[in-house]
Structure 1
Amino acid sequence: MDVYQDAVQYLQSEHVPVEVETAVLVEDVFHEEEEEEEVVMPSYLSSLQEESIDLPVTPTSCSSEEMLERRLLVLKGIVESEEVYLRELEVLLMPMKALRASAGTSQPVLSSQQVHTVFYQVPELRDMHQSFYSDLKARLNAHCHTDPASGEQRDMNHTDSELMVGEVFLKMVNQIGLYGGFIQNYEDAVEVVRKCTQSDPRFRTLAESMMLNNGADKSRTKYTFEALLYKPLDRVTKTTLVLRDLLKTTPAEHSDYVALQEALRLSRSFLSGVNESSQCKRDVMLSHGMRRQLMRDGFVVDGTDGERNLRHIFLYTDLLLCVRLKHTTRGKQDQYRFCWYLPLAGLKLHWSADQERPSDTHLRLHTIRSKMYLLRQQIRQQSRGSRGMSFVARTKKKLEQMDLMLLTYSPLYRLELHSPSGKSHTLLLSSLYELEEWREAIHKLSADNIETVPPDLLTLTSACVKLRMTQQPPLQISRAVEDTESLCGTLRVAIHSARGLQQPARVYVCVEVDGCDFYDNETQTHSSVHSLNPYWDQELSFQVDGAQNLRLLCVSQSDRRDDTVLGKTTFKLESKSLHNGWRRQILQLGSLELTLSLKYSHHRLEPPSSTASPLPVFSVPIETVAQQDGVLVPHVVRCCVEEVESRGMDEVGIYRVSGTSSEINALKNAFNSNLREAVTRLRSVDVNNVSGVLKLYFRELPEPLIPAELFHSLARMLDIQDKPSRLVSMLSLLQSCPVTNRHTFIYLMHHLQRVSEKEDVNKMSLMNLATVFGPSLLRPPVAGQGDDPAVNISQEVVVQVQVVFCYLQCNNLPEAQISVPHDTDAEDDETTHM
């Protein structure tokens, strides 16, 4: 097709006079040169230090031959992409010569200055990429058509057999500055196109009917002029991504590696410069000599109208802007549409966690996660196969769509924004850590009380397109990295204790992991009792895929106002240091010092299952409950004891006065379904209901805390007249109890001894407490089992009360071990301070 003649014929059909183009005009427009510019390699290239730039880690899990095969696929994909981009530039340039020729007539479509503005730097970009494409394709063809002799194995390390493309990429990147002029001129070019499209029907017809031949299939795609002008903007950001992917598949010992490192550094440096330049252009002068600057942006869910809508939030120095990304039809540029904005001056923030998700939401999330898991598996399989990069690209696109759906339906945290003008909006987030970062950033700016300069909303929203181009904030919740250092398996986190509180508080710890979101990646401990030194010893477990970071927050719980984040931190997960057993860590979260232990086991993950209801706590063997909690003393026992000791030690008749049956049953159901919710309710009910729950738990154990087979032995020991000898025998017999039963019993005895120490206030003596708990803790064997004689009820009660009373009188009870040791494995006894 003769591009120039087609354009001339179109303009003449619209009765636009066109002057005949001369050879000089062609040279003026295209500035073609006969010789290629020689690329001078920087003198420091050979000594480039890797730490000078943030480079991707070269995979080490595959051989050099496999990496080179992947590298070849990446290069073929780059060539295919360059072919499409060059065709797009050719279509964009198609009317340029004719429009310039028309500019010298009495009825110009565009003036000479307008033609120069619309096509500024486009011919140079076309020439640059044409040269790059030709060089790269020639080297690729020469490599692919060079076959070793029959029966001879190719030596991939031989210089003649290596595919050398580093200098081709370096040459192209050294000319990437051409894009700088295009980007600075872009808004002016688009403005000319828009104005002329509206004012001149001849140009409008041309601008809305740019046709691109799609190659071998002979199909054609229709573009708008504006969409084609956006292609170079999109391309300059892809250059960095292409170089990163190519470097990841290039072995470190390859001759191209250093050159590709330098090319990636130059490309990133250029993008950074573009971003800084565009930032300066966006600045608006505010009061006190400050300028409006973009401080933070990202994708969140807007729940303002009771519906969940994915939105892009931009936090500026003086305002918060909410826009939605509007995807357009193929060939057209995506746009942002304004939703709302709030001035930061006087903005009030309130955050909270939603209650349990509805069952239909759980089902929807499970369906999404299952599909994401299957797509992820397909990508991993096909990346090792030969179905081509296009299949992998399509699968990744589907995975991104699933990720967006997960981002929309998974949030549980609400950040409410209240403006002095009466306007309110609600942002929903899946991560408490991310919510706290947003809250901190907004609060810091709003506290400065900056006077807002009313924004030009159209200009501000339009600028989001350029921000998206230069910054590329991730749409996804998380991105798992295919890296030998990332974790895939089960990660267990035991939260022990914290210290450093300035005043007593109820504190819980929120734990989050990154990686793929096929499984729940966020959970929390129960809240501690009101204390200066919060203590949990609670074990949490995660199924992780691609996890690299652990995020922790200590949160102070309040009944009357927002919970307060006392401190947060991110911890780098290293599989090597966690793989040999429990490893104790001491982390600094603001002013708090948090002690925890970590353990990781690598294994192949099963597909995500629907969230199963937790196993019940009541009427279940105590060993099963303790194993489920990852402790030796079940959480229900500990939490009730801690709450009684916190606010019930002075209560008259504690453990003797009954609570309300409805409240006790409600707490029982809560412990059976959600530990965190149960502990939260425990903090607010009457303390007699708390003591009632503890008594009910022991009463409903299917087997008594002291095994029934020890009943008659303990009864005989009561006949020993010498008290010290009797206590020694009873303590010795206690050692034969199962470990969970023994430690729970000792823990309870110590608690009841502390209760009796306040007998003058609460009127609960050791005998009173033994009378209350004896029948629950000790029961005789079922009649007919064993050789021991049957016991009548009156004898049974006497034995139960006297046995517990004797243990309560013991002053040398051993200390109870509450949790399973998390730092006694071999090579794991060192403590790391961070």
Structure 2
Amino acid sequence: MELYREADHYLMSYGISPVTENENEMRDSDLLQDVFNAETDWVSHSPLQTEPCVSSAPIADSPDDLLQKRMVVLKGLLTSEEIYLTELETLLTPMKALKAAAGTSQPVLSTEEVRTVFYQIPELRDLHKDFYTSLKTRLLSEKGLDQEDRSQNQGTLESAVILYQGNPQVPVGDLFLKFVNQLGVYRGFIDNYENALEIVQKCMLSDQRFRTLAESMMSFKGSDRVKTKYTMEALLYKPLDRVMKTTLMLHELWNHTPPDHHDSVLLQEALRLSSSFLSGVNERSQCKRAVMLSKGERRQLIRDGFVVDVCESGHNLRHLFLYADLLLCVKLTSTGRQAHYRFCWYLPLVGLKLQWASEQLPSSECQIKISKTRAKMYQLKQALQQHMKGGKGSFSRAVERLRRKLEECELWLLTNTPSFTLDLHSTSGKSHTVRLYSLYDLDEWKEVIEIQSGKSIETVPPDLLSVTGSCIKLRMTQQPPLHCVKSNEQSHVCGSIYVMVHSACGLQHPSSVYVCVEVDGFEFYDRQKQTCLSAFSVTTVWDEELVFQVDGAQQLFLVVVSQSESDSQDNILGRAVLQLDPDIMFKKWKKLTCSLGHIDVTLSMKYLPHPLEPPSCTPLIPEPVFCVQIAQVAKQEGVLVPHIVRSCVEEVERRGLNEEGIYRISGASREIQELKHAFNTNYREAVSKLRSLDVNAVSGTLKLYFRELPLALIPSDHFQGFSVAIDIADPYVRANHMLAVLQGLPDVNRNTFLFLLHHLRRVAEKQEQNKMSLSNLATVFGPSLLRPPVDRVDISQEVEVQVQVINLYLQCHNLPEPLLTKPLDLEELET
């Protein structure tokens, strides 16, 4: 309320009441308090709890109501600009005197220090003065005043704020667009702010004359010269505060401008530019703002954002602030029109330990509710789009209700959908757990916390009341990560995104690695998928296809993770983000290499825009792989060789090639059944088990998979052809016939068979250690891979044919290499 109180005090100093007896003016005054409240920002209207949400967009019953409130916003803008200009002029008052003193024998500040303290402030004053003058002139001219009246009223605040009752259609969008295009002036000031503040604080301690000046800077407002006292530090902060409010002002003005108004498009573009600039400022100035401790030390704000706090009372959305020496978790509360943060907990960074993990799947009841909520969100968005097409109905109560319900659904998903947990353990024994939906975000938080923890030393205990109270002004993140509250998106991706993750290079030592791929947008469908774990080696190959149904996606995130061999602990190796632009997205596969730290991941992408089908209301249950036709398993996984075959083969080659009797000696039945269950229910868990169980259980699981296929890997209708082929005397003719039969197999069967044959040949290369020759391996696998037709009765001949066929294939010198995935129709290759 500070900003509004100053404007109110100024008007009252003239004997003019800012609130008239008219009821509409009283409502206007209330609106001004909402729009220009110094202690409140967009987040005060954002859904920060799981209770029903309050939308950020104001409700208007009719275009006339919107225009009336638009006038109120414009009046408030002029009031705010007038006050801000007065503050800038006050800050610049001592500049000339300090410059002059710098050339004397007793300078207060050096010439360079004067230049640093007042850097870009004259340019900011000129920018806002031009904007203020243009806006006020535009409003006065619309009232119909002649040139003489305007010149007489040029310096009078009430002429613009109180007397203006003119045409509500007054065009101002061009003025705002011109203004935001010059916001780059703030960039230099923001980058220089720390240096300017440091000089001021240093000189206040060393020079009594400067301290007196800096602590008592007087502003003289109005014709009767009403005094307002400032400190130089407070005035230096005003531009930072102002640039953060620019987007809010534009947001409110655009919200109260009817869609058919000629300013609507211009204000929308100005809002986009302002939001983009503010986003850049937040990224570049994370360390530029500070909170003062009780003993004068400076506590810098490094990062903030929304997380889900896991506690005994449940999962709650909270705002997490990372300062240079502590983590602060707070909750937004509202009292009437005022919004503020309430303290939840804090942890000092000294000695802070972090550990992250993926959460387990929720209960079946929760999964059903998640699926139903996603389906409801989809229906709400479709209904919202239908209402928005009506034009004038864009600000109706029905639209507002739909928006509010959409926010509530997405907020519920944010706090209840399985995610990633970050455990925080303090040396004091206190621990807290927060959840983040995105692994990319979690790694960003983890990295910056660990960096600050390494730098942090013991500091004075925080004044929790002061630090919590400062959060409203210091926060860099304005809203929860709800996609439904984002508006006016220029472009986004809607349809199917195909991501084929090929391989990775750059590993420093053998590891099992997987890649987590995430997309943003509405949560109607799964926004996160992972590849399988690679073999334990320095060379990682997946060739695995991940398919995303997306609505409103703008970015794709990649995180590469390794899993230790001993305790299955995940370790993030690197991350990267790709921008998704529908104008340049490709409908054919495009191959590219992304750098994720010291790891390079090669992948291919394809985008197919199309209308989306409603999401299913029933939760997706993992499809089993055992006792299922191999073509169906491969289709589900988007590969030509099922993952279970690749995983078991890779593990056997990693630690079973020297194992005597591998594939002949059976593993423990209990362990084999345990692996079978894991592959049917949770693939990542199965791959983790592969590394810990006896390698004979792994080889036994592979044999069991082929043995339990409903149809043999080599279809039985080829059995007769093989019976004829093995009787061919000429070995070259026989081999060519065998290869011709092989080419006639279905794609999945042929490539899986080839993959297995090459593996068995590598096993036989170590027969001196493992005692498994080609003939031994053919004897083990023949009956599982090749089955005779059901009408065959000569069992002895059947077994002989099965073993001989596999043995002949194992001895082929020109055996083709298998394909793990279907060849991609690549558009181009990028490195």
Amino acid across the alignment from 1:642: E
Moved more, 531-540 or 164-173: 164-173
Alignment of 1:438-517 (within 5 A): 438-467=445-474, 471-476=477-482, 483=489, 485-517=491-523
* Offset, 1:612: 2.1
Alignment of 1:371-390 (within 5 A): 371-385=376-390, 386-390=392-396
Query: Do the aligned residues in 2 keep the contact of 1:512 with 1:521 (CA within 8 Å)?
Result: yes
Aligned with 1:336 (options 341, 344, 365): 341
For the pair 1:27 / 2:37, whether they are aligned, the reply is no
For the pair 1:527 / 2:525, whether they are aligned, the reply is no
Aligned with 2:610 (options 594, 600, 603): 603
Q: Distance in 2 between matches of 1:681 and 1:481?
A: 46
Aligned with 1:655 (options 655, 663, 668): 663
Q: Distance in 2 between matches of 1:248 and 1:723?
A: 85
Amino acid across the alignment from 1:534: T
Amino acid across the alignment from 2:358: A
* Offset, 1:334: 2.5
Q: Distance in 2 between matches of 1:740 and 1:268?
A: 49
* Offset, 1:344: 0.5
Alignment of 1:746-761 (within 5 A): 746-761=754-769
Alignment of 1:116-195 (within 5 A): 131=160, 138-140=167-169, 164-166=171-173
Aligned with 2:642 (options 615, 627, 634): 634
Q: Distance in 1 between matches of 2:723 and 2:344?
A: 77
Deviations 1:582-637 (A, max 9, x none): 11111111111111111121111122212221332122221111111111111111
Aligned with 1:762 (options 761, 767, 770): 770
Q: Could you tell me which residue of structure 2 aligns to residue 677 of structure 1?
A: 685
Amino acid across the alignment from 2:530: Q
Q: Could you tell me which residue of structure 1 aligns to residue 363 of structure 2?
A: 358
1:595 to 1:705, Cα distance in 2 relative to 1, 3 A: same
Q: Distance in 2 between matches of 1:701 and 1:276?
A: 58
Q: Distance in 1 between matches of 2:511 and 2:278?
A: 50
Query: Do the aligned residues in 1 keep the contact of 2:293 with 2:299 (CA within 8 Å)?
Result: yes
Q: Distance in 2 between matches of 1:84 and 1:292?
A: 38
Q: Could you tell me which residue of structure 2 aligns to residue 317 of structure 1?
A: 324
Query: Do the aligned residues in 2 keep the contact of 1:244 with 1:264 (CA within 8 Å)?
Result: no
* Offset, 1:326: 1.9
Aligned with 1:81 (options 64, 69, 91): 69
Amino acid across the alignment from 2:385: R
SS at match of 2:688: helix
1:275 to 1:675, Cα distance in 2 relative to 1, 3 A: closer
Q: Distance in 2 between matches of 1:743 and 1:248?
A: 62
Q: Could you tell me which residue of structure 2 aligns to residue 216 of structure 1?
A: none
Query: Do the aligned residues in 2 keep the contact of 1:325 with 1:337 (CA within 8 Å)?
Result: yes
* Offset, 1:754: 0.4
Deviations 1:560-602 (A, max 9, x none): 3742111100011233444422111111111111111111211
1:692 to 1:565, Cα distance in 2 relative to 1, 3 A: same
Q: Distance in 2 between matches of 1:658 and 1:266?
A: 68
1:247 to 1:628, Cα distance in 2 relative to 1, 3 A: farther
Query: Do the aligned residues in 1 keep the contact of 2:70 with 2:253 (CA within 8 Å)?
Result: no
Q: Distance in 2 between matches of 1:81 and 1:234?
A: 22
Q: Could you tell me which residue of structure 2 aligns to residue 547 of structure 1?
A: 553
SS at match of 1:497: strand
TM-score, normalization: structure 2? 0.70
Q: Distance in 2 between matches of 1:324 and 1:77?
A: 34
Query: Do the aligned residues in 1 keep the contact of 2:675 with 2:686 (CA within 8 Å)?
Result: yes
Moved more, 271-280 or 650-659: 271-280
Query: Do the aligned residues in 1 keep the contact of 2:525 with 2:615 (CA within 8 Å)?
Result: yes
Q: Could you tell me which residue of structure 2 aligns to residue 832 of structure 1?
A: 830
Q: Distance in 2 between matches of 1:599 and 1:171?
A: 39
Amino acid across the alignment from 2:507: L
For the pair 1:742 / 2:768, whether they are aligned, the reply is no
Q: Could you tell me which residue of structure 2 aligns to residue 793 of structure 1?
A: 795
* Offset, 1:136: 8.9
1:805 to 1:706, Cα distance in 2 relative to 1, 3 A: same
SS at match of 2:331: strand
Q: RMSD between aligned alpha carbons? A: 4.1
* Offset, 1:695: 0.7
Query: Do the aligned residues in 1 keep the contact of 2:244 with 2:278 (CA within 8 Å)?
Result: no
Q: Distance in 1 between matches of 2:283 and 2:788?
A: 78
Deviations 1:107-141 (A, max 9, x none): xxxxxxxxxxxxxxxxx99997994798696142x
SS at match of 1:764: coil
* Offset, 1:273: 9.6
* Offset, 1:414: 1.0
Amino acid across the alignment from 2:380: L
Aligned with 2:631 (options 618, 623, 633): 623
1:250 to 1:571, Cα distance in 2 relative to 1, 3 A: farther
SS at match of 2:496: strand
1:417 to 1:26, Cα distance in 2 relative to 1, 3 A: closer
Q: Could you tell me which residue of structure 2 aligns to residue 813 of structure 1?
A: 815
Aligned with 1:238 (options 248, 254, 258): 248
1:741 to 1:428, Cα distance in 2 relative to 1, 3 A: same
Amino acid across the alignment from 1:699: R
Deviations 1:446-478 (A, max 9, x none): 01133222111111111123345x752335267
Q: Could you tell me which residue of structure 2 aligns to residue 418 of structure 1?
A: 425
SS at match of 1:811: coil
Amino acid across the alignment from 1:732: A
Moved more, 365-374 or 760-769: 365-374
SS at match of 2:692: coil
Q: Could you tell me which residue of structure 1 aligns to residue 413 of structure 2?
A: 406
For the pair 1:592 / 2:599, whether they are aligned, the reply is yes
1:80 to 1:474, Cα distance in 2 relative to 1, 3 A: farther
Q: Could you tell me which residue of structure 2 aligns to residue 346 of structure 1?
A: 351
Q: Could you tell me which residue of structure 2 aligns to residue 664 of structure 1?
A: 672
Q: Distance in 2 between matches of 1:520 and 1:551?
A: 14
In structure 1, the gaps of 5 or more residues are: 1-23, 33-71, 90-123, 141-162, 177-231, 784-789
Amino acid across the alignment from 1:541: V
Q: Distance in 2 between matches of 1:754 and 1:268?
A: 57
User: How many pairs does the alignment contain?
Assistant: 647
Aligned with 2:375 (options 370, 379, 388): 370
Amino acid across the alignment from 2:69: S
Deviations 1:353-407 (A, max 9, x none): 1222211221221232222222211221111114340332332222222222111
TM-score, normalization: structure 1? 0.70
* Offset, 1:712: 1.3
Identity in percent:
48
1:248 to 1:449, Cα distance in 2 relative to 1, 3 A: farther
Query: Do the aligned residues in 2 keep the contact of 1:86 with 1:130 (CA within 8 Å)?
Result: no
Deviations 1:723-769 (A, max 9, x none): 23222221122111112111111111110000000000000011110
Q: Could you tell me which residue of structure 2 aligns to residue 19 of structure 1?
A: none
Q: Distance in 1 between matches of 2:547 and 2:363?
A: 23
Amino acid across the alignment from 1:830: E
